[in-house]
Structures are given as structure tokens and as C-alpha cells.
């Protein structure tokens, strides 16, 4: 099987899009959801099989592998490597958990067809290393949320302006990196459009306003699946960092660090649950950008580990808020709602996933945050202090939201709010990964350190080739 892991990856990409064509013919929402769960589970299984084959393949020779694209085009456009293996597992898991936990009250307004199409695009994106194909996939990926906004009769202006700018800057930036312009002196200016595109897609301030707007206007599940994999960070790693100058990386670090602190402060004063979550995400994802920009293998590995832990923890955190919203509607955070007696499991999972996202000891995020802070302090004490401040403010805003939603009064509703079996399964699975990763972090950390070494080697090799 180790010679066919690229084929498993292609099958994982094909399963959701073929399944989307199938369930589009179904008129029954419940049947569509059941089929969607099976299709998303099949995609996850294919990724797992490919991962096993990749681990067993000791040669590392992509030419020895067999795949459909390799047989047709003579080139492996989709492949596993040390960076994207856990990211692909994360993407498949996020989509499966989102589909499984979609309540009946939301199912009619949640498009399972377009969710599966978006999953196929995301899996292809995170398995692609070819620059122009990656740009095409990133461009196509902006359409499903736009279509969702249009179908819900919501304003698309903020989202469209940012995404049009992102796509235009992305194409222009890659073209400038590959072309020779006599009127542009220095690679720093060549990388500027690509740098701006990455900042827009990653939601780095001041290009962040589309993220809270998307969470407020689109379905919660659509917003979660679109932002949580952090495609902007992946684009930065594949397109920008291999050819980035020290000035470009420094700009990413400074802006990302400011965004982490700013977004943490904004989360602290939000009264809308969705806006609170969106700013929590912006703060945590900005720390990932800080990590991959540190010129140290330990710091890069910490950033990559935080990427996984934040994606996993915020997926559970967001799905918890989505489940609460499905039962009680959009709850303001300036009042007490006292939902603990009605939803004790969701309350516990709210705390678990929220604390895991900020690196609480015993959770999967703890080691990654510690590595990131340790490397950042060696680089600059101010960077380490800013990371600690952002985490502390996020912790305060998390506890404020918990107290508002689950304590302070007694909920007097007449409708039972107990969790459904599918929600319990998803919650327990994510909790097991969060706690298991915290108790046994060594395999994941070793994987992230190997990926960090490869990323730094590619950057150093590029610098040595371009140095006079």
C-alpha cells in the first residue's frame, strides 16, 4: 500500500465532490445529512489510509508512487509530505464533525452539497505544492461562502471586496516573483503583493474585518469550515516563505503579533457570541503566523504545533457554540443565561476546548504554546511578552463568555435541551484527541519538528542561491 498513498489522497479528494453530485439529487434533508456523514467519513478514511502508506514508504521517491494524475499528466500534483499529513487529517475531521453535529433545525438552511464541494477543494489545497495550481484552488475556495451569503440574502460587500483583493494580489504576486522587471529593484518589492494577499486571507489586521462579518452573516458551520483550516497560513508556507526576504518575514511577525493582542482585546468586549468566537480565532491564528516566521526550528515547530492544536480546539469550541445556538438562538454575552443545568456536557466541553486553544496544561495546545513562547523569548523578550499577554486576555474573555452562557441564573425553558447522540459522539471524539494529544504529545511534536526543519532548510537554501 505504501506505493499508492498518492492514489489514496486523490480518492479522498474525489469522494466528497462525487458525493455532492449524488446528494444533490436527494430531496430529503435527513437522507442528505446521512449520506453526507458517510461521504465525509469515507474521505477521512482515505486520508488515514494514505497517511499510513506515507509512513510506511521509506523511499520518499514520488516517482515510485502510482496515482491517477501521475498516470495521466505524468506528474504528482497532490502528495503527502511531513507538513501536510496532519493538516489533511485536521481538514477531513473538521468537515466530518461539522456535518455530524448539524442539528435538524439548521439542516434545511445548511447546504450539505456545497459543504462537500468545499471539503474536496480544501483537501486538494492542502495536498498541493504546485504554485499555480494552489492559487487556482485558493481562488475557487472563496466561492462557496459567497454563494451561501447570496442564498441567505445577506450582504456580500465586505466578503467580496476582501476576496477579490486577495485573489488579485495572489495572482499578481506570484507573477511578479516569477518574472523579471527592470523597474523593480529588489525581491522585497516583488513579494509585496503576495505578502498582502496572505495577510488578507489570514485575517491579519487591518485586513481582518471580513472574518467577523462572515461569522455574523453566513451559517456558523460554513464559516467554521472556511476559516479553521487556516488556508492563508498554508499559502504563506508554500508560496511566500520559500522566497521571502527577511523584511517580509519581519512584517508578517509584527502585524501578526499586533493582531493577536488586538483581536484578544476585541474578544473581551464583544456582546455577540459569533463575533466573540471570530476574534478568538483571529488572535489564535495570528500566533501561528508568528511562529512560522521565527528563524528557529523550535519556534517554527511550535507554530506548526499550535496550528494543529488551535484548529482542533477551536473546531470543538465553535461546534459547542453552534449547538448552544441551535437550541437557544443567538445569546448576548452581556446577560446571564444559566444553561449549565440544561447543558452540562456542552458546558464542560466549552471550557475544555476553550482552554485547549490557549495552551492550558494537560491539553494538546500546551506543548506547542510553550515551544512558541520559548523560541520567541530568545528572539525578542517583547515578542514572548506579547504572546503571553494575548493568551492571558483570551483566557479572561473565555471565562467571561462561560460565566455569561452557563452561570448566573437558572434557565426556565420548557423544552428539553439535552444533547443528541451524534453530538455526543463528535464531542467525545474531539475531547479524546485534545486530551490524548496533551498526555502523549511526542509523536505530533516530532512530526512538527521534522516539518520545521524542512521548511527552514528550504528557506536557507533559497537565501544561499539568491545571495550575491
CA angle 213, 37, 309 (to 5 degrees): 55
pTM of the model: 0.91
- CA angle in degrees (0–180, nearest 5) for 75-79-83: 140
Exposed / middle / buried, residue 34 (Cβ in 10 Å: 0-12, 13-18, 19+): middle
pLDDT band at residue 68 under the 50/70/90 scheme: low
pLDDT at 342 over 90: no
SS3 96: helix
- Residues 105, 110: Cα–Cα separation, whole Å: 10
pLDDT digits (tens, 9 = 90+) for 322-334: 888 888 888 888 8
Give the whole-angstrom CA distance, residue 136 versus residue 76. 16
Classified as helix, coil or strand, 193 is helix
With vertex at residue 87, the alpha carbon angle to CA 81 and CA 92, rounded to the nearest 5 degrees, is 120
Q: What is the pLDDT of residue 464?
A: 42
* Mean pLDDT score, 138-152: 93
> How much is the mean pLDDT over the chain?
85
Backbone angles phi, psi at 128, to 5 degrees: -100, 140
Residue with cell 495572489: 170
Backbone angles phi and psi of 78, in degrees to 5: -115, 125
C-alpha cell at 92: 477531513
Non-local CB neighbours of 111 within 8 Å, separated by 6+ positions: 148, 151, 222
Write the pLDDT tens digit of every residue in 367-387: 888 888 888 888 778 888 888
Instruction: Among 210-214, 268-272, 350-354, 463-467, name the one with the lowest average pLDDT.
Output: 463-467
Given this model, what pLDDT does residue 324 score?
Answer: 87
Using the predicted structure, report yes or no on whether residue 306 has a pLDDT greater than 60: yes
Burial class (CB in 10 A: 0-12, 13-18, 19+), 287: buried
* Average confidence (pLDDT) over 257-282: 93
Amino acid at each position: 500500500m505504501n506505493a499508492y498513498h498518492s492514489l489514496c489522497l486523490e480518492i479522498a479528494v474525489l469522494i466528497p465532490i462525487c458525493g455532492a453530485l449524488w446528494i444533490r439529487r436527494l430531496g430529503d434533508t435527513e437522507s442528505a445529512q446521512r449520506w453526507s456523514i458517510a461521504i465525509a467519513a469515507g474521505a477521512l478514511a482515505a486520508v488515514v489510509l494514505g497517511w499510513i502508506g506515507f509512513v510506511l514508504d521509506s523511499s520518499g521517491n514520488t516517482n515510485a508512487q502510482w496515482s491517477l494524475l501521475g498516470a495521466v499528466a505524468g506528474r504528482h500534483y497532490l502528495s503527502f509530505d511531513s507538513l501536510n499529513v496532519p493538516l489533511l487529517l485536521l481538514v477531513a475531521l473538521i468537515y466530518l464533525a461539522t456535518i455530524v453535529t448539524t442539528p435538524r433545525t439548521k439542516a434545511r438552511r445548511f447546504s450539505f452539497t456545497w459543504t462537500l464541494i468545499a471539503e474536496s477543494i480544501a483537501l486538494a489545497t492542502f495536498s498541493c505544492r504546485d504554485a499555480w495550481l494552489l492559487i487556482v484552488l485558493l481562488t475557487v475556495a472563496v466561492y462557496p461562502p459567497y454563494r451561501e451569503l447570496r442564498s441567505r440574502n445577506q450582504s456580500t460587500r465586505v466578503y467580496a471586496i476582501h476576496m477579490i483583493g486577495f485573489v488579485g494580489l495572489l495572482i499578481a504576486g506570484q507573477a511578479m516573483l516569477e518574472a523579471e522587471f527592470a523597474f523593480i529593484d529588489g525581491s522585497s518589492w516583488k513579494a509585496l503583493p503576495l505578502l498582502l494577499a496572505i495577510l488578507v486571507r489570514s485575517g491579519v489586521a487591518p485586513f481582518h474585518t471580513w472574518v467577523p462579518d462572515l461569522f455574523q452573516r453566513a451559517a456558523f458551520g460554513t464559516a467554521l469550515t472556511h476559516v479553521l483550516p487556516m488556508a492563508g497560513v498554508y499559502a504563506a508556507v508554500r508560496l511566500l516563505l520559500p522566497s521571502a526576504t527577511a523584511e517580509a518575514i519581519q512584517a508578517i511577525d509584527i502585524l501578526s503579533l499586533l493582531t493577536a493582542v488586538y483581536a484578544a482585546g476585541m474578544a473581551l468586549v464583544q456582546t455577540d457570541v459569533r463575533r466573540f468566537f471570530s476574534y478568538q480565532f483571529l488572535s489564535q491564528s495570528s500566533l501561528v503566523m508568528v511562529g512560522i516566521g521565527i528563524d528557529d526550528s523550535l519556534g517554527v515547530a511550535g507554530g506548526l504545533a499550535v496550528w494543529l492544536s488551535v484548529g482542533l480546539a477551536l473546531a470543538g469550541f465553535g461546534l459547542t457554540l453552534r449547538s448552544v445556538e441551535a437550541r437557544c438562538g443567538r445569546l448576548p454575552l452581556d446577560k446571564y443565561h444559566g444553561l449549565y443545568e440544561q447543558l452540562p456536557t456542552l458546558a464542560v466541553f466549552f471550557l475544555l476546548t476553550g482552554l485547549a486553544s490557549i495552551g492550558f496544561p494537560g491539553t494538546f495546545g500546551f506543548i506547542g504554546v510553550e515551544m512558541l513562547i520559548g523560541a520567541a523569548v530568545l528572539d525578542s523578550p517583547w515578542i514572548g511578552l506579547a504572546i503571553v499577554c494575548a493568551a492571558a486576555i483570551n483566557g479572561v474573555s473565555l471565562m467571561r463568555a462561560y460565566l455569561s452562557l452557563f452561570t448566573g441564573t437558572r434557565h426556565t425553558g420548557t423544552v428539553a435541551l439535552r444533547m443528541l447522540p451524534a453530538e455526543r459522539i463528535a464531542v467525545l471524539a474531539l475531547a479524546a484527541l485534545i486530551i490524548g494529544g496533551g498526555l502523549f504529545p511526542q509523536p505530533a511534536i516530532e512530526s512538527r519538528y521534522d516539518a520545521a526543519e524542512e521548511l527552514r532548510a528550504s528557506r536557507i537554501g533559497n537565501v544561499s542561491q539568491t545571495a550575491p
